[in-house]
Amino acid sequence: MFKNSESNGMDSENVSVIDDKMRITGTVVSDGDVILAGQLDGQIICNKLTVEDGAILNGTIETGEVVISGTVTGDVVSINAQIEASGRFEGDLKCIGIEVEAGAYVAAKFKKAPAKIVKAAAKLETETD
């Protein structure tokens, strides 16, 4: 499910956008990348998720990579997580790699990444070698 992202961060042909005028309650599933600029209350499963500054996500994230510039409250399961200076995260974080920029707000419990994430990361590593 998780693919190696392009160097610019998003594959422009396979990106879904939840814009700033949209609020979704429920589950969002995408084989591609998702940009959240609005609000999501529920679950999102995708290749890469970008939570834009001003966006709000209350729920769970399952992704290969997540970049948080907005507000996320809930659980994240990801190969890599990046919380930017404008980002706010509260919840459980299960990932292999994490980057937190100065100024970000993080109130998290860090837990061991699940086996499926470790396997996905190993597969990506062998594909890039």
Quote the pLDDT of residue 4: 39
2 φψ region: left (φ > 0), alpha (ψ -120 to 50), beta (else) = beta
Can you give the pLDDT at residue 2? 40
* Backbone phi and psi for residue 115, each to the nearest 5 degrees, phi listed first: -55, -40
pLDDT at 3: 42
Question: Which residue ranges make up each domain of the chain?
Answer: 12-128
Q: What is the pLDDT of residue 9?
A: 52
Rounded to two decimals, the pTM is 0.83
Q: Are 106 and 123 in contact (CB under 8 A)?
A: no
pLDDT for residue 111: 83
Specify the pLDDT at position 115.
77
Q: Which parts of the chain register pLDDT below 70?
A: 1-12, 124-125, 128-129
Q: What is the pLDDT of residue 128?
A: 67
